[in-house]
Structure 1
Amino acid sequence: MQFTKWHGLGNDFVIVNGMKEHIADYHQQALNICDRNFGIGADGLVVLLPSDIADFRMRIFNSDGSEADMCGNATRCVARYLFENKITDKKIITLETLAGIITPELIFENGNLVTVKVDMGEPRLKPVQIPVTISELEQVVHIPLNVDGETYNITCVSMGNPHCVIFVDDINKVNLSSIGPKIETHPAFPKKTNVEFLQVIDRQTIRMRVWERGAGITKACGTGASAALVAAVLNGHANRQATIILDGGNLFLEWADNNHIYKSGPAVEVFRGEYLL
């Protein structure tokens, strides 16, 4: 099976053209391929397929075999992959995902690709949309959540997938590998959740670390960065444009007047090869 390995700020993916390659069991192959010792190694497997409602369909499988609704970093990588491999000549591409149609745009300056901008859609804030069950309020903003005797004030956002955002004074003191999975699987989140810890540097700059649902600690998360900006605005910590500093690098986010989140950042191909099934 031919594959190519990409990353967006260190959040890495194996991309397979499912229009040419056949995978019998996506879930099992994601487990095998993403294994960093016995496979290629990645945070997720991305399979590209035909679509009746968009230019292409994108299916994303986490390293634990579960299927993700959407992934912002994978979207940037897919857009550049499709364009550079001449599968499409469009610079604005529509991708069908479980979270709806996502639209990445390739941005060029003087003929050179400088960034990939993704319309992440509108944030969903009602508890039933996320879903989260700890509050009957219209929005879950700065609501206490008890985890193993500790109380965390959480803000919840869906970007087509659930996010639980927590603000801290010092992000370096967060034991992400310990608390991340406990919040991910907390009963308050019927479909589990991604977990973002945020330290506000100033109104235009936020430091973020993420525990991704189904993948664990990752270097970056595009939907998580989008949720982080929304949460920061709702809590009065940030303006509607900000740079999110992740373990793998920086993303620029804007919560525009049309209520859509726009995210810009890099997408890099690392290598390509043949995977022996």
Structure 2
Amino acid sequence: MSTAEPRPPQTQFTLGPDRLDLYLVRTPQGREAALLDRSELDDAERRRAGSFRHPAHALLYTTAHIALRRLLGRQLGVAPRDLRFLREPCPGCGAPHGRPAVAMAGPPLHFSLSHSGGLVLIGVAAVAVGVDVQRLPREETVEVASAALHAGERAELGRRVRGADRTGHFGRLWTRKEAYLKAIGTGLHRSPARDYLGADSAVHPPGWTVLDVACPPTHSAAAVVRGRRPRFVDVHRLDGRWLCTPDTPDALAIATTISTHGEVTT
């Protein structure tokens, strides 16, 4: 895996037909956590954040949704608090629980959001995209959850020794799978055993590109995008302090986006 030279910090967020942008955000801690700008959330999001029993889960949810609103607001030229979301029809049953989308006309914009264990991953593209990030599971979780994998994936996992190698491999398989199911709009309503997303990319679902996303060693992350691999695939690490200030043009000086092609592998 080659590593490109880091690009200078962006002055604006971009969207193009041949690029995929992935944003990693850690939950702010201490005083910064108390300063999160919750005014940009809608009533439903505030109620959801208030429903969590554990403060860490509420903080993660809040961080994720403020970040999503700010990123999409910049893409669309809309104030984050003014964004409205809807669900596309499910490709399986037609009910409104498919991919999330922005409820406004404009150029094609697709996004996906995932969060786990203090880390948020957001994908933005001009074509359908799904992302997933998960804290690496414990060994006993792998033993139970592996039964839900495709037969070919279970065979690959069975060749792994116990320990970090096995849990890491399972994490890659599972995040690829959830990212794919988000990208096609079914989520786990579609059986995880139905589609193969293992080591042999030649037999991955046709018409989709599967990417592993480099992240901290405590987590695994993946992105799936419709069509061939985009020419530009960048990972941006956003400083959580950005979410504690008004979303002004100067906020990017705080956000400090770092972008490298070498963060993603096929």
TM-score (norm 2): 0.27
Q: Which has the higher strand share?
A: 1
Q: Whose RCO is larger (CA < 8 A, sep 6+)?
A: 2
Higher helix share: 2
